[in-house]
Amino acid sequence: MGQTIAQKILAAHSGNDAVEVGQIVTVTPDYVLSHDNTAAISKKFEKLPIERVKNPEQPVIVLDHTVPPSTAQYANNHKQIREFVEKNGIVHFYDVGRGICHQVLVEEGFAFPGALILGADSHTTTYGALGAASAGIGRSEVAAVWATGEMWLMVPPSVKIIVHGELPRGVASKDLMLWIIGHIGADGALYKSIEFYGEAIEKMSLSSRMVLSNMAVEAGAKFGIVPPDEKVDEFLKGRATREYEKVFADPDAEYEQTLEFNADEVVPVVAAPHNVDNMVKISDLDEVRVNQVLIGSCTNGRTEDFHMAAEILAGRKVAPGTRLLLFPASSRVLMDILLDGTAQKLVEAGAILMNPGCGPCLGAHEGVLADGEVCVSTTNRNFKGRMGNKNAFIYLASPYTAAAAAVAGKIVDPREFLD
């Protein structure tokens, strides 16, 4: 019986030739990620009768959630993390300012084809875009990996999503992913590994593929894997932390389901409040006035996302009464958009350029909403209260749609502003 990508990667990391769907395996992940929650995890860890982290090369710790800290308590958490890193000789530590963990791990070459990465963050699925199997786990689990180097996982069933055709102009991979989640639902891939295939995916940049893998978890998926190609090799040249071999599914691998979509049919959409699967075509929306626009996050805070925004915002102005916040996903992205002039165009249009980090995506700081306010956001969750106020409304959208909302002061089809 053939094996899926998920099966092959889990077999390779559990010392098996092959594994079966539903089998529980003990794996040794290549890396285990944690962020500001390292403070709480280290408290759990320090209660164990264990001196030190077993393999100090395995953890990757990135401070990104509340950076720079907004309260004394967050600041103390960061301080405690630095002390923990020092005490345990943790090799891979990125302090405040480097960026969002998922972007940093990719840029630093920790994510590569065939890798198994677990992390105390649900969007750990992002690395699937480079052909890795990666999933979010809980805090106790991270502490256990620190202690033992290992973790149990159930081998998930796989679902194949094939996207034919090509996305039309002004339609981004974010629209496609909201489209897919809108069709299959927030639990449409619960516990499953998604493998993405098709012409539309092959044509996409790695940054665009990262949107799909990142948001696979919003359909409940365990992994969201894109079979690696030469674009991945090119990106990882001189960057990958290890030598790797690309992992592909066998031709006779077994999939629980195959879903097909046509990219040519996708139009600009939003996920309307308060569920990610509440997909609505912009053409079907009543007028929605917008108070704040956020472009950033581990979903859409990369250089190409700011380029999309600049296509619409350059030479135009943010509407009065609307705030536009930009959060580059990393210091690398920030440097890119500074050097190529994109940042200048956006700031001239009236944008507020913030520091690399998660920003207000999870409601902690740097752009919390007022009662009754509407935010159009390129982030990944629109749950009630997600951005710090349960009386506010979040619409998830592509960078094109977000930029167009900033110019118009309301949600409009971004293609109105594109040539």
**What is the token pair recorded at 68?**
């720079």
Q: Say if CB 6 and CB 225 are below 8 A apart.
A: yes
- Alpha-carbon torsion (106, 107, 108, 109), positive or negative: positive
Instruction: Select 144 or 324, whichever has its Cβ closest to another protein.
Output: 144
Nearer to another protein, 38 or 173 (CB): 38
**Which one of 15, 20, 24, 258 is in contact with another protein (CB under 8 A)?**
24
Region 68-127 residues binding another protein, contact defined as CB under 8 A: 71, 73-74, 77, 119-122, 124
Amino acid at 28: T
Please select the residue that binds another protein; options are 95, 152, 183, 418, rule is CB under 8 A. 152
- Cα separation, 396 vs 176, whole angstroms: 12
Q: Rg of the Cα trace of the chain? A: 21
Q: Nearest 5 degrees, angle CA 189-CA 193-CA 198?
A: 90
* 44 binds another protein per the rule CB under 8 A: yes
Q: Please, what is the minimum distance in Å from the beta carbon of residue 324 to another protein? A: 23
| Closer by beta carbon to another protein, 82 or else 139 | 139
Instruction: Please tell me whether residue 370 binds another protein under the rule CB under 8 A.
Output: no
Return the number of the residue (147 or 280) whose C-beta is nearest another protein.
147
Q: Which of 66, 88, 86, 87 is nearest to 77 (CA)?
A: 66
48 binds another protein (CB under 8 A): yes
Structural tokens at position 161: 């999503």
By C-beta, is 236 or 276 nearer to another protein?
A: 276
DSSP annotation of 249 reads -
Q: Which two tokens stand for residue 116?
A: 């198994």
Least distance CB 362 / another protein (angstroms)? 5
Residue 176-195 contact track with another protein, rule CB under 8 A, x = bound: ----------xx--xx----
Q: Binding to another protein by residue 222, rule CB under 8 A?
A: yes
Number of Cβ within 10 Å of residue 319's Cβ equals 18
| Matching residue, tokens 């989640």 | 181
- Alpha-carbon distance 245 to 137, whole Å? 25
Query: Residue numbers of the site for another protein (CB under 8 A)?
Result: 24, 39-40, 43-44, 47-50, 65, 71, 73-74, 77, 119-122, 124, 135-141, 143-144, 147-148, 152, 154, 186-187, 190-191, 220-222, 275, 362-364, 381, 383-386, 388, 390
